[in-house]
Chains A and B, each alone.
Chain A
Amino acid sequence: MISWRSTWSIYTRELMRFLRTAFQSVLAPVLTTSLYFIVFGAAIGGRMPDLGGVDYGAFIIPGLLMLTLLGETTSNSSFGIYMPRFTGTIYELLSAPVGVAETLLGFVGAAMTKSLLLAAIILVTARLFVDYSIAHPVLAVLYIMLVASAFSLFGFILGIWADNFEKLGIIPMLFLTPLTFLGGTFYSIDMLPKPWDTIALANPIVYLVSGLRWTFYGSSDVDIGVSFAITLGFLAFCVAVIAYIFRTGWRLRA
């Protein structure tokens, strides 16, 4: 039986932790997004043709959203579980009558909530620079939630795997950010010369950016079904890894 009280306690405490640094957590994405829009939307975007019938400034919104979302969600979630391991406060969680369900719903739920808040902030900020409308708002929210939960889980795994701060930062820095940049944030895959347009499809982030772009503007580089399937597959993979971690106690219990 899952304990909802325990889950709620973990969840609210994680959010509280987030609120302690709320100013920074909100300001940073607002600032970054604004900078991107000033540079890419206004300065460069003015000279760019529309992409698939979408104004360039609007075109980059889903990609920028994804860029921030993946980075912030992963780092929030990984810090959330890494810090207690690092400081030793994890003893309390490990000695409590809570299992994988409460831990995940609590930690990952909180990371997800932060991500959704962040997404809302970015979309509002973008609105200040570009006029856009969302073709499938419900699907867009669903898709953002799906991606946020998948990367919260991914961050959780990262936070358990890492045994120093360096490792904690290395995956987002070495893989996530470059792959997102190369994943069609600022351009359409079609624009790449052969054979790079095909090679680009090996980058999983392409499907995430493309999927979100579809929910925004109704058209994208890859089929929306494929995007959903890949995101769901990644989510399932993370859940399986975490189930394994909890069953064996890997890096959690001595």
Chain B
Amino acid sequence: MEPILELAGLSKVYPGGLKALDDVDLTIRKGEIFALLGPNGAGKTTLIGAVCGLVRPSAGTITAFGHDMARDWRRARSRIGLVPQELSTDMFEPVERAVSYSRGLFGLAPDKARIEEILRSLSLWEKRDERIMALSGGMKRRVLIAKALAHEPDLLFLDEPTAGVDVELRKGMWAVIDSMRERGVTIILTTHYLEEAEMMADRVGIINRGKLLMVDEKDAMMARLGRTEAHITLARPLDMIPPAIAKFPVELEADGASLCYRGGDGTGKGKAEVAELTKALIGSGIDFTGIETRESSLEDIFVSLLGEEGGAA
């Protein structure tokens, strides 16, 4: 697929010496939702800032829509939208005027119909004459999205769109993001909610301490790192693993009182194997009183990756 954004060797050292981005290479494809996942202080906002002109890179190149950001920034920026992490906007301004201003600022002719469409799609139309300070936090966030969409960008950055937002609103936000994707907008979002990346993203990049540790299709990442874990509570403890189930990746736990299966690859292979295993147990007359299975989430992947990195450092 054609790349819409390419970062090569991107680094940022803040005054004071903190290396917030460390030699990042990343290619974003047209039309995808890319989730940048990492703990606080990982460098997510810095990465977005570098692309959007808020942060001056210390090294590396940024190419957006084939334009070199350092030279052709005008043309590149006119196609990029940014929803910042902080709710920063002129609180005294009415919603519709704020959104129209954003469109004008990006050099586009006024278009009432287009602004109305954007406001309606974000359920803000009824609030168009309200001052932004009179809106709830969730609505303020949507105003910032409306402002970012006002110039009809092809690439949209959402910096922690659901941080500090309750579960209901978060689901609403996911629906909004989905509808933007349907309109063909390429979306890069940052989050530290793993569930969010798992729900929304086509691809996921994991970043920590300025280093992009891993980038992959979400499904492939799950397949590569995903695991099924099953705990089978035995009716009678075992001394050793019976030969009938030796071909499975199982271990005895709790002095033989339970059997633990760890295997599969996040594609469902694990579940099938657990089914096989239980049949084999019944076949060889080993009784059990309970089964508990769990698919590992991005969170587990994340924790193990960060653990490896921490160990190496």
Contact = CB atoms under 8 A, between A and B. Distances in A.
A91 interface: yes
A89 interface: yes
Contacts of A91: 52, 54, 82, 84, 88
Given A9-B104, A89-B90, A249 B82 contact: no
Nearest to A13: B101
Interface residues on B, range: 20 to 34
Given A20-B92, A87-B88, A97-B78, A92 B53 contact: no
Contact of B101 (A3, A9, A95, A254): A9
Contact of B55 (A89, A92, A254): A254
B19 interface: no
B164 to A, nearest CB: 16
Given A5-B104, A97-B77, A89 B88 contact: yes
B92 A9 contact: no
Contacts of A97: 73-75, 77-78, 106-107
B147 A92 contact: yes
Interface in B282-312: none
Interface in B95-137: 97, 101-102, 104-109
A96 interface: yes
Contact of A93 (B78, B84, B104, B105): B105
B219 to A, nearest CB: 32
Contacts of A249: 56
Interface string A232-250: 0000000000000000010
Given A6-B106, A95-B54, A96-B106, A254 B89 contact: no
A159 to B, nearest CB: 16
B56 A253 contact: yes
A96 B77 contact: yes
A88 interface: yes
By DSSP majority rule, is chain A's interface helix, strand, loop, or mixed? Answer: helix
Interface string A205-228: 000000000000000000000000
Contact of B105 (A9, A17, A20, A88): A9
Interface of B: 14, 46, 49, 52-56, 73-75, 77-78, 80, 82, 84, 86, 88-90, 92, 97, 101-102, 104-109, 147
Given A89-B88, A95-B82, A8 B54 contact: no
Contacts of A95: 52-54, 77, 80, 82
A6 B88 contact: no
B46 to A, nearest CB: 8
6 contacts: A5-B107, A5-B108, A87-B88, A88-B88, A97-B74, A254-B55
Contacts of B54: 91, 94-95, 253-254
A99 interface: yes
Contact of B89 (A5, A6, A13, A89): A89
A102 to B, nearest CB: 9
Interface in A1-30: 1, 3, 5-6, 8-10, 13, 16-17, 20
Contact of B84 (A3, A5, A88, A253): A88
Contacts of A13: 101
A3 B55 contact: no
Nearest to B80: A95
B92 A92 contact: no
> 5 nearest interchain CB pairs?
A9-B104, A88-B88, A3-B107, A95-B52, A97-B78
Contacts of B73: 97
A95 B74 CA distance: 10
A182 interface: no
A252 B82 CA distance: 17
A95 B14 CA distance: 19
Contacts of B88: 87-89, 91
B58 to A, nearest CB: 11
A98 interface: yes
Given A96-B105, A97-B74, 5 more contacts: A5-B107, A6-B104, A16-B97, A89-B90, A94-B52
Contacts of A98: 105, 107
B154 to A, nearest CB: 13
A10 B106 CA distance: 10
Contacts of A96: 77, 105-106
A8 B14 CA distance: 34
Nearest to B144: A92
A221 to B, nearest CB: 44
B107 to A, nearest CB: 4
Contacts of B97: 16
A254 B52 contact: no
**Most chain B CB atoms below 10 A, which of A1, A9, A10:** A9
A249 B92 CA distance: 28
